[in-house]
Amino acid sequence: MCLCTLTGCKGDRQQPQEVAHIDTIPMMVQQIQECSKLYTAEYKVHKIVTHSDKQQIRGNILGKKIDLTLPTGDRKVAIPLDATLKAYIDFSEFREENIHRDGDKIEVVLPQPHVVLTSTSINHEGIRQQVSLLRSNFSDEELSSYEQQGRQAIIDDVPRLGILQTARRSAATQIIPVITMMGFKQEDIIITFIEPGKEKGGITWIMDSRN
């Protein structure tokens, strides 16, 4: 990138000032680093956590293994769980090496988004239990354990929810204006994402701003 201004006159002729070449890459890195953590997506998830069990006896009698289900009936519970997931890009390790420029073309390599479970809430009035007459109700400790299992299940489902792809696209659309402010045309910008745990050659997702 360069900046050229015309100043001063001698007769009718303008004397061009010497062209000052400006390296925009460090400035671009600084602008992107200032984002720190860029939150790019938020998902609201509603999940019904269910559990059922029967009373069983397991052990050894006279050297023989036993596994018996007692005729005391079973217990079932359904717990409505609402959760909020947020995705963000961490720019703490963003460096000039993440930017590749070839003339007017530029590629910016971003880290993969992180997803965090920021909040959960239980609709306690919506909890439903079905307990046999010969069984005791679920204890608070048991309910708390099932709720925790539900939270973990939501985290495990993140790759299937589509939040990562949404987060990448949102990050790209927020970074592109920063790059265009440095004088690059949108059609000359490509945003890529590093595959986790691999060098910059391992790229799993590309956004071409021309599309």
CA–CA distance, 188 with 209 (Å, rounded to integer): 8
pLDDT at 194: 82
What pLDDT shows up at residue 149?
Answer: 92
Residue 10 confidence (pLDDT)? 35
Q: Give the separation between CA 201 and CA 39, rounded to whole angstroms.
A: 25
Structure confidence at residue 22 (pLDDT): 44
Tell me how far apart the alpha carbons of residues 88 and 58 are, in angstroms, rounded to a whole number. Answer: 47
**What's the predicted TM-score (pTM) here?**
0.67
- Can you give the pLDDT at residue 69? 58
CA distance 152 to 161: 14
The pLDDT value given to residue 43? 93
CA 76 – CA 137 distance, rounded (Å): 10
Beta pairing, strands 105-110 & 189-194 = parallel
Written as tens digits, the pLDDT of the chain (211 aa) is: 322 222 332 334 344 443 333 457 788 778 777 767 888 899 999 999 998 877 555 667 666 776 655 556 788 999 999 999 999 998 888 888 888 989 889 999 998 999 999 999 998 899 999 888 878 888 889 989 999 999 999 999 988 888 999 999 999 998 899 888 888 899 999 999 987 655 443 434 444 444 4
d(CA 174, CA 168): 10
CA distance 191 to 48: 38
Query: What SS3 state is found at 146?
Result: helix
CA-based diameter of the chain, in Å?
117
Residue 59's contacts (CB-CB under 8 Å, 6 or more residues apart) are 65, 66
List 74's β-bridge partners, or say none: 54
